Amino acid sequence: MSEFISDANFNELVVDTTLDNRNDEGPMTLENFTKLMVQFYELGWMRGSGGAMGCISGKELMISPSALQKERIREQDVFVYNISEKTEVQRPPNKRITVSSCSVLFSLIMKETGSECVIHTHSKSANLITQLIKTDSFEISHQEYIKGIYDPFSGKTLKYSDTLSIPIIDNMPSESQLLEPIRGVLDNHPQAIAVLVRNHGLFVWGPTWESTKIMTECIDYLLELSIDMLKNNIPLVNEGAFEKEDNLSEKLRTLMFSDMAPV
């Protein structure tokens, strides 16, 4: 694999000085990064070395390594890149370890959406729901956790009765082949903050690492609930759900979130 520092989208990333001010807790640190990997493993999102996270912290981009046990990575195992200078700041001491093959997907999503963070999970619910739903999107309405999802256009969270829509794309032999399908999602579904990959998992992105993690948890809950709802023949979308425009006339994604969500 060619070096990530030559990746086209990474090279177009610019340092966003407003990011730190958006964080509830503070910018991502390496210590927090590795602790979150443990937490995501325990949630069943990153078993068998699966899953990945990319996160911008100030002028640095941190990405998890490929093929390592995610609950065991140490701070020194995280790949760090300088966004301003387009350099590699650190890589794992074991030279055989490469950066996550999701890295090129992360840089695409970050560049296109202005997101600070992308989380990729292999949760069983995310996989199973794509097998139960044969269409190209997962949709659900009238759920409290929908209020935990941000709308990049309004800068506010969705309402309880809104329909959350997550595109589903087919899996490909390699992660890099997901680049074009994900670009298609970003182009055609500018309101999307997540995409499901059939028989594979979930990608979620957001303005801060905190909001991205929160949204990933909300979505994971909704996917797991949906599997039970389908089993009981309960429709996922209520008839009274607010119908959202699918094709917005202009692309006004802001990621400047002015409102916050569930309690």
Angle at CA 150, nearest 5°, toward 148 and 156?
Answer: 105
- Judged by beta carbon, residue 30 or residue 229, the one nearer a second copy is 229
- Judged by beta carbon, residue 121 or residue 137, the one nearer a second copy is 121
144 catalytic per annotation: yes
Q: Smallest gap, in angstroms, from Cβ of residue 131 to a second copy?
A: 5
Q: Smallest gap, in angstroms, from Cβ of residue 247 to a second copy?
A: 26
Closest CA to 211 of 125, 154, 151: 151
Q: Which long-range contacts (CB under 8 A, 24 or more apart) does 222-227 make?
A: 222/140, 222/143, 222/145, 222/146, 222/164, 223/123, 223/125, 223/126, 223/129, 223/138, 224/125, 225/143, 226/125, 226/129, 226/138, 226/140, 227/125, 227/128, 227/129, 227/132
Q: At 79, is the secondary structure helix, strand, or coil?
A: strand
Q: Smallest gap, in angstroms, from Cβ of residue 249 to a second copy?
A: 26
- Judged by beta carbon, residue 247 or residue 263, the one nearer a second copy is 263
Q: Smallest gap, in angstroms, from Cβ of residue 170 to a second copy?
A: 10
- Active-site hit among 144, 239, 243, 250: 144
Q: At 201, is the secondary structure helix, strand, or coil?
A: strand
Cα 140 to Cα 22: distance, rounded to the nearest angstrom: 28
In the structure encoding, which two tokens stand for residue 22, read together? Answer: 């958006």
- Judged by beta carbon, residue 56 or residue 133, the one nearer a second copy is 133
The residues binding a second copy (CB under 8 A) are 24-25, 47-52, 64, 66-69, 72, 94, 96-98, 100-102, 120, 122, 124, 127-128, 131-132, 142-145, 148, 159-161, 171-173, 175, 197, 199-201, 210, 213-218, 220-221, 224-225, 227-229, 232, 234, 260-263
Active-site residue numbers? 144
